[in-house]
Amino acid sequence: MIVKDNISLKYNKLTPEEENVIVNKMTEPQFSGQYDDFFQEGTYVCRRCNTPLYRSTAKFHSGCGWPSFDQEIGRAVKRIADGDGVRIEIRCAACGAHLGHVFLGEGFTEKNTRHCVNSLSLKFIPKK
């Protein structure tokens, strides 16, 4: 548990693979994630803290091997300059979990934005 802005955040227990991606900022192997080719209605939440991050309506098939979204929910995703000096890292704004990277100007959707997210950083909640 961590306290942020006087609010206690309880984290979900992570597998070693999930911790490598979420905490150690690793990347799951391309085309290996359960949500890469997954298109059901619902919401994708942070695997670490359950904060809603993306709606299924923002998901699209980019062919890159990881789930792709062109818009986050509100201010749920924080953008940070990556250590490589080239890419933009994306993290859960609530708990800081590493999600992946965001790319601009590729032309996949009208929003011209691709959030390239590790499946291990997400949990899917189906629409009821």
Tell me the pLDDT tens digit for each residue of 16-66. Answer: 999 999 999 999 999 999 999 999 999 999 999 999 999 999 999 999 999
CATH of 2-126 among 3.40.50.300, 2.170.150.20, 3.30.70.20, 3.40.50.150: 2.170.150.20
CA 5 to chain centre: 22
Q: Tell me, yes or no, if 116 is annotated catalytic.
A: yes
Q: Which of 2-16, 42-56, 87-101 has the least mean pLDDT?
A: 2-16
pTM of the full structure: 0.91
Strands 98-104 and 2-4: unpaired
Query: What whole-number distance in Å separates Cα of residue 110 and Cα of residue 98?
Result: 26
Catalytic residue among 46, 49, 92, 116: 116
Domain boundaries, the chain: 2-126
